Structure 1
Amino acid sequence: MSRTPRARRRALALALCAAAVATLQGVASPTAGAAPISAPSTVGVIEDSTARAFAASLSEGSWRTQVRTAALASDEVDLRALTSRTRTGAGSALEPAVATADRRIAEAKGLASDTGSLLRLRLASPSMRAELASGTAPLVAAAATEDGAETITAYDSRGRAHTLDADRVPDRPVYVVDIDGARATEAGLRTLNKELTARGIPAPAPSATRTPTRTSEKSPTSSLSAGFWTTKIDSVRLSNDEEPWVSGDAEVFSIVSGFGFDGKVRVDTVDMPYLDNDGTTYNPNQILVNWSSYKYNLADVVMMEDDGDTNYQALAKALADALLTITDLGAYIPLVNAILDAIPASWYTNDPDYVDSWYTLSQTSSGPLTGARANGTLTVSPYYVTQF
């Protein structure tokens, strides 16, 4: 006996839900209480599984139309919100799997349980908008791709895999399943700061990343009251990151380290959410170092990029294990090498990528400073912030 259209839609929804959940169940969650430093491509596996299940769901026309409308109306669509508010069978069937994927991504990155929805859907390139609007069937790919990858795997609504050139934006529209990098990095740095403090590394100064509002023109060697000297980023520029078209905006943060007045190593994290693209000069007017927190007139900066699989709890443990062994001997000791040595080699491939580092930045540093890797240039200036 033939099924009614409603019955067919329900059967499709149940099949999609079962397939998506079965796929995602194959992704192991981290052991409770543990912070694995390298769970290879955990986030990438979850994204790929979600992309494959999402592609299959697009076989339902009403859901495909709803997704297309949302993708054309916004640069980035909250995938959990989209699946939770739809009335289509295929979209509704994906909701439990998307919620599970969100939770497992947060666990894999060592983020707090209240981080919220992380999965996002976006069109890979604005050049694809016309084709998508005309009704061309899209492919679906995961954003998490190894650095230097030559091909991208994308899926169609029939479950078939398509191999795309990583260096050439395809003519056919491609949806990309990604995570909200800005939200993940912000939450991750909160976790990193909390974990470092718990392990004995002093907490960051509240003003370390604040955009300055008042300043004095006096030199950094002058004696001023009711304020503090900082180093401000006037401009920043990164060289080619060699990432494929499927990757979204970069999520960059810096680790500033030096010695506190108690003689212990301290770490200040600086989120740089504006630093989206290579080959672009940004003028953030952002405080990089608050010198009132440091014993010496020197500090080091390590700039990193969260490419997806960063586990911030594990990063905190690795940093603490390395930095707590360093003691103040009465003279400044550069800390860049200790920080880089603390990070496993596997993390330099599509995890928290090492962008560049600046050794012995001083309170009087001014002008353009090229990083040790010559991959980044910071233009800085001394800046006195007056307290009210």
Structure 2
Amino acid sequence: MHFALTPARRGAVALALCAASLTALQAVALPAAHATSPSSGSAGSSGAASVSGIEDATARTVAASLADPAWRDQVRTAALGSAQVDLALLTARAAAPAALNSRVTAADRGIVRAKGLAADTGSLLRLRLGADSMRDSLLRSAASPLVAAAGTDEKAAAVVAYDSNGRAHRLSSRTVPDVPVYVVDIDVTKAVSAGLATVNRQFTARGLDAPAAAAPQTAGFWTTRVDSVYLNDDEEPWILGDAEIFSIVSGFGLDGKVRVDTVDMPYLDDDHTTYYPNQILVNWSNYKYNLADVVMMEDDGDTNYADLAKALADALLTITDQGAYIPLVDAILAAIPSSWYTNDADYVDSWYTLAQSSTGRLTGARANGWMTVSPYFVSQL
């Protein structure tokens, strides 16, 4: 699932700041699957250096490997036994076709580079069944399932999946096919955790999260806690997996410079669902003023976290303390490249001027969701 901001919505954000209206994504339904020639190409493959391009190439490789009946049975057992399977571990098995594991390992390294993550991040590629409704047909069918890349474009009208003979099949992105499809995807929970670590390292290096050393010594500190949270969403293609949400909290630190903190929210998987995380969102001991801003974003695609950190730092370091609080949401949104508002590092919603005393239900500026918050004092042990 994906809390996407379409290009029309990206324009609305850029014009925030000018009151443009949002344009809803038009879902396009295609006919049922039909075979095409391999030369028809892959919707969603955008080059070897991108996450979607690597996923697509891996999907074709995995599809070809399923021509081996014994290996196909092992993959089926793994896919039925787990919501997502670590592709590197799966292809390391003795029954895997020769060289498959080395290709998957190389693809994992490419994913890590494309997302600007640390070299020791480890494997990110995962294999999963496209939908729970495919389980029965996977159990009954002796034929090789199709294999598709999750991709990063929620606007795509079609999904391209491959069979074991290398042929490409166009599937509707809106209607779950009646044939089993394996999806090559990335572990977005692991990727976001590693990505935020990358962002935080760069923020630290550039002084955007200086420690609160100047704070007066007390028996604890006040925070704002998220008691519950709910997000809306448009209809999503069946091939996309769970969302991965994180928030960027910004304000002015005790040194008078812009401060940015990241907050991972991995539990926010489904739209139209209320979650009760009791999660600390803002630590007020780190901030000079009694106000902070929150920008909520989502990643299930080509986000390069090193580039994201640089873009934010370059923009925020130009803002200086004028002796009064300055909202930072607009600067954060303006700093993020337009390409990241398609299906990676998407803008979900924002909350301006959150105060230490804020309590109750707060609807986001986009009205795409709400949070109930409350002040919470963290006592020393």
TM-score by length of 2: 0.84
Preserved CA contact (<8 Å) 1:203 1:268: no
Q: What is the match of residue 199 of structure 1? A: 206
For the Cα contact (< 8 Å) 2:152–2:301, is it kept in 1?
no
**Letter aligned with residue 44 of structure 1:** S
Secondary structure of the residue aligned to 2:224 is strand
Q: Secondary structure at the match of 2:230?
A: strand
Identity between Structure 1 and Structure 2 (%): 69
2:119 partner SS: coil
Tell me if the contact between 2:210 and 2:253 (Cα under 8 Å) persists in the aligned partners: no
Choose from 101, 126, 130 the match for 2:132: 126
SS at match of 1:321: helix
Tell whether the 8 Å contact from 2:359 to 2:372 is kept in structure 1 after alignment. yes
- Counterpart of 2:58? 50
Higher alpha-carbon Rg = 1
CA contact (8 A) 1:204 1:267 kept: no
Query: Partner of 2:8 in structure 1?
Result: none
Q: Does 1:111 align with 2:117?
A: yes
1:346 is aligned to 2:352: no
Kindly indicate whether residue 59 of structure 2 is the aligned counterpart of residue 66 of structure 1: no
Residues 343, 204 of structure 1: alpha-carbon distance in 2 compared, 3 angstrom cutoff: farther
- Rounded to whole Å, the distance in 2 between the matches of 1:341 and 1:380 is 27
One-letter amino acid of the counterpart of residue 108, structure 1: A
Name the structure 1 match of 2:283: 290
Out of 194-203 and 315-324, give the one that drifted further. Answer: 194-203
Per-residue CA distance 1:314-350 (angstroms, 9 max, x = gap):
0010001100000001100000000000011111011
- For each residue in 1:136-193, what CA deviation from the matched residue of structure 2 results, as whole angstroms up to 9, or x when unmatched? 5311111123122211111111111111111111111110000011000000000000
Secondary structure class of the residue paired with 1:369: strand
* Paired residues of 1:123 and 1:173 also in contact (CA < 8 A): yes
8 Å contact kept, 1:145–1:152:
no
Structure 1, unpaired ranges of 5+: 1-25, 30-41, 206-222
Distance 1:312 1:374, change over 3 A: same
Out of 329-338 and 165-174, give the one that drifted further: 165-174
Cα shift at 1:243: 2.6
> What is the rounded CA distance, in whole Å, between the counterparts of 2:211 and 2:163 in structure 1?
47
Contact 1:147 1:242 in 2 (8 A): no
Q: Is the 8 A contact 1:154 1:164 kept in 2?
A: yes
The 8 Å contact of residues 124 and 176 in structure 1, kept in 2 or not, is answered as yes
1:242 aligned residue: 235
Q: Is the 8 A contact 1:296 1:332 kept in 2?
A: yes
Q: Which residue of 2 aligns with 1:18?
A: none
Q: How does 1:1-388 map to 2 (within 5 A)?
A: 27-29=47-49, 42-88=50-96, 90=97, 92-135=98-141, 136-203=143-210, 225-388=218-381
Question: What is the distance in 2 between the residues matched to 1:203 and 1:161?
Answer: 52
Instruction: Tell me how far apart the structure 2 counterparts of residues 61 and 230 of structure 1 sit (CA, whole Å).
Output: 57
Aligned residue number for residue 5 of structure 1: none
Q: Please tell me the residue identity of whatever aligns with 1:299.
A: A
SS of residue paired to 1:114: helix
Counterparts of 1:241 and 1:313, CA distance in 2: 29
Code of the aligned partner of 1:84: A
Distance 1:316 1:193 in 2: 8
Greater RCO (Cα-Cα under 8 Å, separation 6 or more): 2
Q: CA deviation at 1:27?
A: 4.8
- In 2, the alpha carbon distance for the partners of 1:133 and 1:371 equals 44
Q: Please report how far the alpha carbon of residue 282 of structure 1 lies from its aligned counterpart in structure 2 after TM superposition.
A: 0.6
Structure 2: where are the runs of 5+ without partners?
A: 1-45
Q: Is the 8 A contact 2:223 2:284 kept in 1?
A: yes
Is the Cα contact below 8 Å between 2:67 and 2:144 reproduced in 1? no
Aligned residue type for 1:96: S
CA shift for structure 1 position 363: 0.6
Q: TM-score, normalised by structure 1?
A: 0.83
- Deviation for aligned residue 1:28: 4.9
CA contact (8 A) 1:80 1:99 kept: yes
The answer to whether the 8 A contact 1:46-1:105 is kept is yes
* CA distance in 2: counterparts of 1:142 and 1:242, whole angstroms: 19
SS of match in other structure, 1:235: strand
| C-alpha distance in structure 2 between counterparts of 1:273 and 1:204, whole Å | 25
